[in-house]
Amino acid sequence: MKKSELFFLLIFPFLFFIVSHLIPLFYGVALSFTDPKGNFVGLQNYYTAVNDHRFWGGIRFTFIYAFSTAALNLILGLLIGTFINQIRRGQGILKSVFLIPWAIPLTVWGLENRIIFSRDFGILNNVLIDTGITTTPLPWLGDPSLATISVIVSSVYRDMWFAALLFLVACQMIPQDFYDLAVIHGASALQTFRFITLPLLRRTIITVGTLLFIFAVQAFDIPYSLTYGGPAWATHTTAMYIFRRSLHYGDYEVGTALSSIWVLVIFGLVGTSFTFLGRKTMR
Amino acid sequence: MLRYLKFVGAIVLISLALFPLYWTFNYSVLPEKETVRYPPHYYPPIDVFTVVNYRIAFTQYPILRSLLNSIIIVALASVVTLFLSFLPAYVLAKHNFRLRDSVYYGIMALLAVPWVSYTIPLYRVANAVGLVDTHLLMIMLYGFSGIPLFTWIAIPFFRTLPDELIDTGRIYGLSEFGIIWRIAVPVLRNALVALFLLRFVWAYGDLLYSLIFTFDQAKMILPAILEFPGLFEMPYARMAVGGIVAIAPILVLVMVFQKYIISGLTQGLKISV
């Protein structure tokens, strides 16, 4: 085994990533200490960034969104996945159907959900009024708290099928003997789920939960296409806010300060959760 | 009774999962004025059914060009990603060296970096060298940005490669690159297809880079269809057409190759009990 060749196979591909992404990332950090003319201004941009209440509002919304979507996707995915596992025939069809929402780009999903959530013409209000749940049409995208709910619902509605699919595949890896034994010992369906399925799915739950959370913290597409961060900045995720403040309004230097803070927040979070979950679980 | 309930449950789930796609199609074939009514049409009535929205979308907007841009850029970029992540994945899966764990955790750390933090400096650089809104830039961006994730996803596939095959390759005097090219790639052909599809679907569905770096020549499909809703009008039928057009290629791909995709996701994301 030639050391130099292995080194080359490992490092050479990553050079492309380093040059195209990591070096720009550090260039961005350098930019965050300058003004638009390139003069060094110390921590001035960071001072502006920390005092930007919309940025903190964005972080707050991002975490509300990330925790609720990850939790709801896990719970609903687990329920649907284990339910489908009980069905003997037609699992193939269900698997294909569950892949369809996953195949639809998030942007398209958000854009089309605007039609469903429309206050005056949408089917959601139509169904809610016909079933008597509400009497007046609700402004799903026009009210700050309702829009928060709409963004979360829209996102979970798309991703829970994907979570269900992964849990279904994991369920099918559990040896049938375990369930046969449970039947012999007279376990109820609920007990079987609680004491066999759930503990054996622990690894999958941690993996899927982590992935969902990491993707959710980056959320950009659905809020952008569904609410465009509105109304009144209520559904701005951090990524969206940084994008708008820098690339949209041309405030690049403050934007790089915002994104440096954001990277530190994420790394703090990921670092803590790794120590919490233990390094081995992710391998 | 229980069997009946399960059947009903399955039907409900199928309908729920397919509903948004159906609803989009429903609106895409309604005349614009039939979309702003209450209650909404649950299906397109025969007497108002129309394909005029498709004609408007394809003739008045450069949507076909954007669609082709997306497909070409994403397909080439996926090949680049796969090639560049297979090499390190092989080394990390099949060789032991002192810093291996550090490299592995380094890759995981890269996966957590928020994408938005790359965009501002990247935009400045791309602008300075005049690459903004070019196919070349987009192929490079989507080709290189996937390297850490796809190295990580490809490792479990390489672990399934028998060591005996690698040793045989060495006996026949193959270099390490030769082992990857002549042995790993043919043996892991299915994995290669699966990873290509995953990369294709994810890059095609990305909005951040396509929105920031393309606006005219290389404009991709997602920023293109986002221009349908205007500031003061909400042309639902046209928006629905945009959605159907953007979904079509990816839906065909996913339905034809679904077995590869499911196995790719399960193995790549290390789903096990």
Residue A164 tokens read as 């269900």
Is the pLDDT higher at B176 or at A149? A149
Query: What domains can you pick out in chain B, each with its CATH number?
Result: 61-268 (1.10.3720.10)
pLDDT tens, B87-109? 999 999 988 888 888 888 889 88
Partner-chain residue, chosen from B38, B119, B144, that has the shortest CB–CB distance to A17: B144
Quick one: which of B217, B207, B224 has its CA closest to B132? B217
Q: A249 CB near a chain B CB, below 8 Å?
A: no
pLDDT tens, A110-136? 999 999 999 888 999 999 999 989 888
pLDDT tens, A13-48? 999 999 999 999 999 999 999 988 888 898 999 999
Q: What is the pLDDT of residue B240?
A: 94
Please name the residue of chain B whose CA is at the shortest distance from the CA of residue A83.
B6
pLDDT tens, A235-283? 999 999 999 999 888 889 999 999 999 999 999 888 887 777 665 555 4
Burial class (CB in 10 A: 0-12, 13-18, 19+), A176: exposed
Query: Mind telling me how many Å the CA of B144 is from chain A's nearest CA?
Result: 5
Percent of chain B with pLDDT over 90: 60
> What is the pLDDT averaged over residues A182-206?
87
Banded pLDDT at A2 (limits 50, 70, 90): low
Residue A85 has φ and ψ, to the nearest 5°, of -60, -25
Banded pLDDT at A189 (limits 50, 70, 90): confident
In contact, A282 and B108? CB cutoff 8 Å? yes
> What is the pLDDT averaged over residues B264-269?
84
Residue from A107, A159, A206, A261 to probe the interface with B (highest B Cβ count within 10 Å): A107
Say which residues have a Cβ less than 8 Å from residue A213's Cβ, sequence separation at least 6: A66, A67, A70
In contact, A99 and B254? CB cutoff 8 Å? yes
Residue from B2, B7, B90, B120 to probe the interface with A (highest A Cβ count within 10 Å): B120
Which residue's structure tokens are 């959370």?
A: A213
ipTM of the complex: 0.92
Please name the residue of chain A whose CA is at the shortest distance from the CA of residue B80.
A13
Q: A267 CB near a chain B CB, below 8 Å?
A: yes
pLDDT tens, B53-69? 999 999 988 999 999 99
Partner-chain residue, chosen from B123, B140, B254, that has the shortest CB–CB distance to A103: B254
Residues B273 and B252: their CA atoms lie apart, in Å, by: 31
Asked whether the predicted pLDDT for residue B140 surpasses 90, the reply is yes
Is the pLDDT higher at B149 or at A91? B149
Q: What is the pLDDT of residue A110?
A: 95
> What is the pLDDT averaged over residues A90-100?
90
Asked whether the predicted pLDDT for residue B215 surpasses 70, the reply is yes
Query: Mind telling me how many Å the CA of A145 is from chain B's nearest CA?
Result: 22
Is the pLDDT higher at B168 or at A90? B168
Residues A107 and A84: their CA atoms lie apart, in Å, by: 28
- Asked if B103's CB is within 8 angstroms of A242's CB, the reply is no
Is the pLDDT higher at A55 or at A87? A55
Residue A153 tokens read as 């619902």
Query: What domains can you pick out in chain A, each with its CATH number?
Result: 68-236 (1.10.3720.10), 237-283 (no CATH)
Asked whether the predicted pLDDT for residue B157 surpasses 60, the reply is yes
Partner-chain residue, chosen from B111, B140, B205, that has the shortest CB–CB distance to A105: B205
Q: What is the pLDDT of residue A195?
A: 87
Residue B60 tokens read as 């008045």
Report chain B's mean pLDDT, rounded to a whole number.
91
Percent of chain A with pLDDT over 90: 57
Is the pLDDT higher at A3 or at A175? A175
Q: What is the pLDDT of residue B254?
A: 92
> What is the pLDDT averaged over residues A83-102?
89
Q: B9 CB near a chain A CB, below 8 Å?
A: yes
Q: What is the pLDDT of residue A8?
A: 86
Q: What is the pLDDT of residue A278?
A: 60
Q: B230 CB near a chain A CB, below 8 Å?
A: no
Say which residues have a Cβ less than 8 Å from residue A26's Cβ, sequence separation at least 6: none
Quick count: other Cβ atoms within 10 Å of Cβ B133? 16
> What is the pLDDT averaged over residues B138-166?
93
Question: Considering just the CA atoms, what is the radius of gyration of chain B in Å?
Answer: 23
Residue type, B144: F
Say which residues have a Cβ less than 8 Å from residue B46's Cβ, sequence separation at least 6: none
Partner-chain residue, chosen from A25, A31, A130, that has the shortest CB–CB distance to B118: A25
Is the pLDDT higher at B169 or at B232? B169
Q: Is A40 helix (H, G, I), strand (E, B) or coil?
A: strand
> What is the pLDDT averaged over residues A208-224?
91
Asked whether the predicted pLDDT for residue A7 surpasses 90, the reply is no
Q: What is the pLDDT of residue A1?
A: 53
Residue from B14, B53, B94, B117 to probe the interface with A (highest A Cβ count within 10 Å): B117
CB contacts, 8 Å: A270 with chain B? 109, 112
Report chain A's mean pLDDT, rounded to a whole number.
89
Partner-chain residue, chosen from B10, B114, B206, that has the shortest CB–CB distance to A266: B114
- The distance between the two most distant Cα atoms of chain B, rounded to a whole number of Å, is 74
In contact, B121 and A28? CB cutoff 8 Å? yes
> What is the pLDDT averaged over residues B111-116?
91
Q: A232 CB near a chain B CB, below 8 Å?
A: no
What is this structure's pTM?
A: 0.93
Is the pLDDT higher at A275 or at B70? B70
In contact, A9 and B88? CB cutoff 8 Å? yes
Q: Which of residues 139-198 of B touch A (CB under 8 A)?
A: 140-141, 143-145, 147-148, 151, 175-177, 180
- Three-state SS string across chain B, please? CHHHHHHHHHHHHHHHHHHHHHHHHHHHCCCHHHHCCCCCCCCCCCCCCCCHHHHHHHHHCCHHHHHHHHHHHHHHHHHHHHHHHHHHHHHHHHCCCCCHHHHHHHHHHHHHCCCHHHHHHHHHHHHHCCCCCCHHHHHHHHHHHCHHHHHHHHHHHHHCCCHHHHHHHHHCCCCHHHHHHHHHHHHCHHHHHHHHHHHHHHHHCCCHHHHHHCCCCCCCHHHHHCCCCCCCCCCHHHHHHHHHHHHHHHHHHHHHCHHHHHHHHHHHCCCCC
